[in-house]
Amino acid sequence: MSQAALAKVHDFEGKLERATLDRVEGWAWDKNNDDPVFVNIFIDGGLVCTVVADQLRGDLQGKGKRGGFCAFSATLPEDYVDGRRHSVRAVILHSDPQFVLGDLTSEMGDADTSARQMQSTVSFYRPTAPHKNTTARALLGRDNWLFLADDSNRVRDQIAGRFSVTPVMKDNYRSVFDERRRRFRDLGVPYFFFIAPTKERICLEQLPTGMVTDFDMMPANVIRRLLAEDGSPLIALDTALRDEHARHETFYRTDTHWNYIGAHRAYCEVIATVADVVDCGLPHDRALFGSRIFKNYRGDLANKEKVAFIGEEYPLLAISPTGLDPAVFQENVEQLFDANGDVFTIKVAEHLKVSQTRETLVMKNNNKNLPKALVFRDSFTTLLAPMIARHFSEVIYVWRPEVLFSLVESEKPDVVIHIMVDRFMVRPQANIL
């Protein structure tokens, strides 16, 4: 059906008006249809809920828009009330061509409640527990390798190139990194942003047979190319990890994270890059670290419900727990540490406790002549921390996705290092002054 013909059937109108700390609000209707319309709400590119636009609002009633019964208001799941800014998009369900009501960035304060309505009828598609992916499952790959099946970042859509980078996402990253480039230049502090690869990008041979991948169109790669054009290079670690994985396994079989071999290769890339600008020394060989063996380790995917991949056009198939031996999903793992005793952890000062969910880590080195580093991190930095600490007199590891410039100014590091796994890059970035 042509667009002109479709317009005779539907004549949509509406607007996404507010995206606040915990709520989205707006209105929508079809001038040619008495029934209320349904609106899909997307956050950071992912579908969160479908809401019915049938609430009464006086100002819309006065304008003759479906008698005023066309407003919608939805309280968002608690896992999005996390102190971050999120991109929000509202689209009328089944509109073709797609009718977008608006794109907004959620504000970190509550909305003006003067026009707020009762909660509309809403169907949610995401878990509501804060900081937990309660419905996330483990995808069973070849040789009993486990991968993320349906996490809140839609990693399967990301690696298949199905997660589009919206104009809002592009504008967010461009503006945030442009500001970072200017502010770090004014402070005279070098800033490095490293992209850790998600497991699916490295362990291709262990993915289920037939799974589609298009890493070139993965949001992290699209954003990296975009920012390179603006003069804000992001440093991808995937090439180095793939090279290492061709010789040794670089990720845990039952976990989403890299193992000690992958972590060491990532550490080498980070330190070699930073050493070109800061006198922190060259990376140390793996043999120069001590190692510990942990037996019967069960990673963060081991205890999740297991599902099988049977084809892109089919839903994932749940696997009966009785058909799986729990012992299959445990492994003996190795971790590296500083055996020289030069690196040690100190008590964290109160002003450095800036994460709502994770503890700040501060490591010092007996060599006081080394430079100082501030690291903004996620879970992929955990295994790197004792290795990186060998190269700095002090390293402050802050578990935050944003850059806190107040911390940069108060701590006066010689270098700021930012490490983030690629699948998290569908979330907006922010600078906090």
pLDDT at 44 over 70: yes
pLDDT at 133 over 70: no
Give the model confidence (pLDDT) of 151-189 as tens digits: 878 899 999 999 989 888 899 999 999 999 999 999 999
Of 58 and 109, the one with more pLDDT:
58
Give the model confidence (pLDDT) of 296-342 as tens digits: 999 999 988 899 998 888 888 888 776 678 788 999 999 999 988 89
Most confident among 27-31, 77-81, 107-111, 307-311 (mean pLDDT): 27-31
Q: How far is CA 269 from the centre of its chain?
A: 22
Span 19-41, average pLDDT: 85
Mean residue pLDDT of the chain comes to: 87
Give the model confidence (pLDDT) of 400-424 as tens digits: 989 999 999 999 999 999 999 999 9
- The answer to pTM > 0.75 is no
3-124 belongs to CATH 3.40.91: no
pLDDT at 4 over 60: no
Span 59-70, average pLDDT: 91
Q: How far is CA 421 from the centre of its chain?
A: 7
Span 255-278, average pLDDT: 97
Of 20 and 279, the one with more pLDDT:
279
Of 115 and 148, the one with more pLDDT:
148
Span 130-141, average pLDDT: 63
pLDDT at 252 over 90: yes
Q: Please tell me the predicted confidence (pLDDT) of residue 123.
A: 63
Q: Please tell me the predicted confidence (pLDDT) of residue 46.
A: 74
Q: Please tell me the predicted confidence (pLDDT) of residue 45.
A: 74
pLDDT at 191 over 80: yes
Residue 70: both structure tokens together: 């066309």
pLDDT at 21 over 70: no
Residue 110: CB atoms within 10 A of its CB come to 12
Q: Please tell me the predicted confidence (pLDDT) of residue 105.
A: 79
Span 385-403, average pLDDT: 96
Q: Please tell me the predicted confidence (pLDDT) of residue 107.
A: 55
Q: Give the amino acid at 427.
A: R
Most confident among 54-68, 82-96, 254-268 (mean pLDDT): 254-268
Give the model confidence (pLDDT) of 208-220 as tens digits: 999 999 999 999 9
CATH 2.60.40, the chain: domain bounds? 3-124
Q: Give the amino acid at 132.
A: K
pLDDT at 8 over 70: no
Question: In the 3-class helix/strand/coil scheme, how is the chain assigned residue by residue?
Answer: CCHHHHHHHCCEEEEEEEECCCEEEEEEEECCCCCCEEEEEEECCEEEEEEEECEECHHHHHCCCHHHEEEEEEECCHHHCCCCCCEEEEEECCCCCCCEEEEEECCCCCCCHHHCCCCCCEEECCCCCCCCCCCCCEEECHHHCEEECCCCCCHHHHHCCCCCCCHHHHHHHHHHHHHHHHHHHHHCCCEEEEEECCHHHHCHHHCCCCCCCCHHHCHHHHHHHHHHHCCCCCEECHHHHHHHHCCCCCECCCCCCECHHHHHHHHHHHHHHHCCCCCCCCCCCHHHCEEEEEEEECCCCCCCCEEECCCCCCCCEECCHHHCCHHHHCEEEEEEECCCCCEEECCCCHHHCCCCCCCCEEEEECCCCCCEEEEECCHHHCCCHHHHHHHCCEEEEECCCCEEHHHHHHHCCCEEEEEEEHHHHHCCCCEEC
